[in-house]
Amino acid sequence: MHLKRILSGIVAIPCLYLIIAKGGLFWFAVLISVAALIALSEYYFIVLNKQNESVFGPVSLIGYLVCEAIIFSAYRYPDRFEYILGLLVLNYILAGMITLIRYTAGSNVLDVMSKQVQGSIYVPLFISSLVFIRSDSDNGVAWIFYVLVLVAFCDTGAFYAGTFFGKHKLCPKVSPGKTVEGFMGGLALALAGGLGIKYYFFPELPLIMTVVFLLTVSVIGPVGDLFESALKRNGGVKDSGSIIPGHGGILDRIDALLFVAPVAYVFKAFLM
């Protein structure tokens, strides 16, 4: 398992670096749109697993189209967030229309629609924050790497602290393997590493607000991880997919990032 993870990282990390650092905003948006489509299909697989509903059903297809429209809007109109809100409203209306057409007494179409609407917020809306961050021509690339490294710090610190010191369960009903000690290890590494990055690469950022940002990320990241674990447990699946050897699906890899991305955008754009 660890060998597969290492080999996947050896292949994926250089490719991600080239696209983020050298590919420009367009190719970054393409990367995000592809990741969002795959993650959304995995989300549908998880939540519709017990609904006898295809991930390519009519309500889901609307979700895919709106997903791509949201990413495009973030790329093409980075200063017009109201366009994305309009797309979410449009998604709700179209999904509602299809649901009414398919409705019969005792059917599950209303539940399918509610899960689709949740997915449109959970995946495309949250991940579009990365496109907004990257669209800043001054330091957008640096901030993307900052966010990715912080999420990695949280994950790495939690893994090793939990492995060697974990005794107290953090949220046993959702994820029995996660511990309070692991959570604290992730928080400590993200705080220490994040302040080191700020010192060398973002000296202009205010210290107190940076600490608040790092602490917030350290809490929100694990929440995103646990949220996806709850979805999988409720859906009766182990992994969201198998597209990445040793890692599972795309959603398994970006669950924490999905929750961190909009928080990072708010701090970068409005608070820091």
For the segment 111-124, what is each residue's pLDDT rounded down to a tens digit?
Answer: 999 999 999 999 99
Phi/psi for 123 (5° steps) reads -100, -70
The answer to whether residue 194 scores a pLDDT higher than 50 is yes
Distance between CA atoms of residues 88 and 94, nearest Å: 10
Q: Does the pLDDT of residue 70 top 90, yes or no? A: yes
DSSP string, 113-171: HHHHHHHHIIIIIHHHHHHHHHT-TTTHHHHHHHHHHHHHHHHHHHHHHHHHH--SEEE
Q: Is 48 helix (H, G, I), strand (E, B) or coil?
A: coil
Q: What's the pLDDT at 7?
A: 45
Is residue 262's pLDDT more than 50?
A: yes
Cα dihedral 18/24/25/30 (nearest 10): -50
CA dihedral 157, 239, 261, 170 (to 10 degrees): -50
Comparison of pLDDT for 242 and 105, the residue scoring more: 105
d(CA 126, CA 37): 13
pLDDT per residue over 37-53, tens digit each? 999 999 999 999 887 78
The string of pLDDT tens digits covering residues 129-165 is 999 999 998 899 999 999 999 999 999 999 999 999 9
Is residue 129 within 8 A of residue 264, CB to CB? The reply is yes
What is the sign of the dihedral through the CA atoms of 265, 229, 108 and 49?
A: positive
- Residue 1: band (very low, low, confident or very high) from pLDDT cuts 50, 70, 90: very low
Domain residue spans of the chain: 2-271
**Residue labelled with tokens 């509610």:** 114
- Give the total residue count for the chain: 272
Quick one: tokens of 28?
């970054």
pLDDT of residue 178: 93
**Backbone phi and psi for residue 43, each to the nearest 5 degrees, phi listed first:** -60, -45
Whole-number Å distance between alpha carbons of 70 and 188: 35
41 compared with 22, residue with greater pLDDT: 41
